[in-house]
Amino acid sequence: MAPDAFILSVGVVIMSYAVLATSWNFVGGFTGYISLGHAAYSGLGAYATGLLVIETGMNPWLAMLAGGLLVAAFAVPVGIASLRVRGASFVIVSIALVLILLLVFQSWGSFTGGSNGLRVPRPFGTDVLRPEQHERFFYLHAVLLAVALLTWWLIDRSRFGTGLKAIREDEDKAQSLGVPTFQYKLVAFVVSAFFTALGGGMYALWFGFLDPIFQFSILVGSYMVLMSLLGGIRSLFGPVLGAVIVGYAVEYFKAQYGDTQFHLVAMGLLLALVVLFMPDGIIPAASSLLNRFRPQAASIREVTAAELAEQRRSAADAEEREPVTEGARR
C-alpha cells in the first residue's frame, strides 16, 4: 500500500531492523548479556552471502543459509572466549570484535573489496523493477522474522529457556542449582549469531552493495540494543515494536537532517529516556499500567445475602435428615 518506492524501502529497513533486534534478543533477553558488537555477525553474514554468490555462483538463498551456518560456526570459539566474562567486560569484548573485523575487511581489498565496497548481484535479476523488489523483500524479511519469533517463543517455553532466564536473574545461584550455565549461554549465543547473520545476508541480497564501515558499525549494534530495550527485552514482540519506532525515527531524521549528525543526537536522547523512565520497555510498562485498572480478584469470594440464606437452609435440612445415633439418644 506504500505510495512510492521510498516508503517501500523504509518498510524493508524497518523489517530488517526487526529481524536483527529479535536475533539480538536471544542473548540479551534470555541471558541478560548486553552485546554492542552484534554488527559483527550481521556484517559477516552479509559478506559471506555476497562472496559465496560472487565466487562460487551459488544460489542466493542457499548462499544466505550457508553464510548463516558459517557465522554460527565462527560464533562457537568467539562465544567460548567471550562468555567467560560478564558485565562491562563482555561489552568491551563485543566492541573489540566488531572493530577488528572492520579493520580486516577494510584492509583485505583483494577479497572483500575493501573501502570500495562489494557489489552483490540482485537475486531476481535486472528485469524486476526497484519497487517490486522492495515489496518482495518486505515479505521475505517478514518470513524470516516469523521464524525468529517462533524460535524465541519455543525457547521461552522450554526447560532450556527456563535455565536461560535463571542465568539472567542470578547466574551464580543458577549454577549452584545445577544449571549448566556456560553451555546454555553458548547455545543462546550461537543461535543469536545465526539469525543475525541471516538478517545480514538478507540485507545484502536486497541492498546489493556492502561497505565495511556500515556493515561493521558499532552504531548498528547500538540500534539493536536500543530497539530491544525500548520495546522490552523480556517480551516476544518487544524488539519488533522497538524496531518499528526506532527504525521509523532513524529514517525520518536522516531524511530531514541528512547533512548533519542530528539523528545520532536524537537516538542518544531516546536511549537516555528509555533507561530513565522505562527501563523494562514499553510493553512491560503498558502491561503494568493496564493491570492497575483491571479489577483485582479477591482471595475470598463474596457471597450475597440470598446465597447465604440458601446455604443456611441447606445445612438445616441436612441436620434434620441426619439419623440419630445411639450415642445421641443417651
CATH number for 159: 1.10.3470
DSSP state of 294: S
The rounded distance, in Å, linking the Cα atoms of 162 and 184 is 10
Least confident of 100-104, 199-203, 270-274: 270-274
> Does the pLDDT value for residue 299 go beyond 50?
no
Please indicate whether residue 69 or residue 264 has the higher confidence score (pLDDT): 69
Let me know if residue 267 belongs to a domain.
yes
Please give the pLDDT value at position 115: 86
Q: Global pTM? A: 0.84
Q: Do the domain assignments include residue 39? A: yes
Number of domains the chain contains? 1
Per-residue pLDDT band for 78 (boundaries 50, 70, 90) equals: very high
CA distances from 282 to 1, 102, 132, 235 (A): 27, 33, 34, 10
Is 302 part of any domain? Answer: no
Average pLDDT of the residues of the chain: 87
Mean pLDDT of 105-121: 90
Distance between CA 38 and CA 6 in Å, rounded? 27
The range of the structural domain enclosing residue 39 comes to: 5-290
146 domain-assigned: yes
For residue 155, pLDDT beyond 50: yes
In a domain, residue 160? The reply is yes
Residue with cell 523504509: 10
- Residue 313: the pLDDT is 76
In a domain, 200, yes or no: yes
Q: Write out pLDDT tens, residues 172-230.
A: 999 999 999 999 999 999 999 999 999 999 999 999 999 999 999 988 998 999 899 88
**Whole-angstrom Cα distance, residue 28 to residue 226?**
11
**Which pLDDT score, from 0 to 100, does residue 280 have?**
77
Indicate whether 266 belongs to any domain. yes
DSSP per residue over 295-322, as a string?
A: PPPPSS----HHHHHHHHHHHHHHHHHS
